[in-house]
Amino acid sequence: MAILVTGGTKGIGLAIARRFAKPDVDVFLNFRADQDAADKAKLEIEAAGARCHLIQGDVSTPEGAKAVLAAVSAQTDRLDQLVHCAVKVIPEPLLTIDPVALTEAINLNGTAVVYLTQAAVPLFRPGSTVFFLSSRGSRTPLPNYAAVGAGKSLAESLIRYLAMELAPLGVRANCVAPSAVDTEALRQVYGEKTEEIMRQSAAASPAGRNVVDDDYCSLIEYLASPSAAMIQGQVVFVTGGSYLAA
């Protein structure tokens, strides 16, 4: 088995990679810049018995996505899971955000799922799955989150279209959207308010707590299994009941 996780050396991406890291599994972790975090992630994945391959690259462009998948294909002839977690955060209002930076963010946070999927098609096999990590901000405007939320909204739509085209190949495409998880990206948005945001999130949840890694990783593991063969083009929220009421 082989899995590629973009943004896979930190946060949610690394948690997903850990879940699939087992002996005889090839885990490909894509990252853009933080070599120290990548090296630490590699040690962690290898400690679980998997073969870990670090791929540095920017998947926000078609050329960058092709280069990353070329690195994957140099090591394996199959890709069972493609997980797009990489994100670019610009914590500014739309009225003042730099348009060029916004475009770059939309490409990584949204359109890149198409670039990656196109490049991965030769490696897909019946049963392969494309995952996109979305969030509440794809549907509900949040302060200083537009560059992320709008991109994720676009990606959710693109996943539905991709699901229609991938289904005849026996390949699935779905989105998983956890509620607040304390990641580097979240801290870029909320800064010193992050701890308070996490407390508020737990208090507002009918489940009485915040989402933890096992919650969304277990869902992804199920959606990647043959038992989920008929689940296509969906956005599945993992929130403990948050957002059900106004």
Question: Rounded to 5 degrees, what are φ and ψ at 31?
Answer: -145, 160
Number of C-beta neighbours around residue 191 at 10 A:
11
Q: Tens digits of per-residue pLDDT, 5-63?
A: 999 999 999 999 999 999 999 999 999 999 999 999 999 999 999 999 999 999 999 99
- In this prediction, residue 184 has a pLDDT band, given cuts at 50, 70 and 90, of confident
The count of domains in the chain is: 1
Q: Is the Cβ–Cβ distance between 52 and 100 less than 8 Å?
A: no
Q: Tens digits of per-residue pLDDT, 138-148?
A: 999 988 999 99
Q: Is 90 exceeded by the pLDDT of residue 231?
A: yes
Q: Tens digits of per-residue pLDDT, 67-125?
A: 999 999 999 999 999 999 999 999 999 999 999 999 999 999 999 999 999 999 999 99
For residue 122, being part of any structural domain is answered with: yes
Query: What are the angstrom distances between the C-alpha of 213 and each of 19, 183, 185, 220, 246?
Result: 9, 11, 15, 11, 26
User: What pLDDT shows up at residue 42?
Assistant: 98
For residue 244, being part of any structural domain is answered with: no
Q: Is 80 exceeded by the pLDDT of residue 183?
A: no
For residue 115, being part of any structural domain is answered with: yes
Query: Could you tell me the CATH number of the domain that includes residue 83?
Result: 3.40.50.720
User: Taking all residues of the chain, what is their mean pLDDT, rounded to a whole number?
Assistant: 95
The domain in which residue 24 lies consists of 2-181+212-238
Q: Is 80 exceeded by the pLDDT of residue 186?
A: no
User: What pLDDT shows up at residue 163?
Assistant: 98
Q: How far, in whole angstroms, is CA 11 from its chain's centroid?
A: 10
For residue 89, being part of any structural domain is answered with: yes
pTM of the model: 0.93
Q: Is 90 exceeded by the pLDDT of residue 131?
A: yes
- In this prediction, residue 244 has a pLDDT band, given cuts at 50, 70 and 90, of confident
Find, among 159, 173, 70, the residue nearest to 120 by Cα. 70
For residue 200, being part of any structural domain is answered with: no
User: What pLDDT shows up at residue 103?
Assistant: 97
One-letter amino acid of 226: P
For residue 46, being part of any structural domain is answered with: yes
Query: What are the angstrom distances between the C-alpha of 80 and each of 3, 16, 72, 225?
Result: 6, 14, 12, 10
For residue 29, being part of any structural domain is answered with: yes
Q: Is 70 exceeded by the pLDDT of residue 246?
A: no
User: What pLDDT shows up at residue 195?
Assistant: 86
For residue 187, being part of any structural domain is answered with: no
Annotate 6-75 with DSSP letters as a single string: ETTTSHHHHHHHHHH--TT-EEEEEESS-HHHHHHHHHHHHHTT-EEEEEE--TTSHHHHHHHHHHHHTT
Q: Is the Cβ–Cβ distance between 36 and 60 less than 8 Å?
A: no
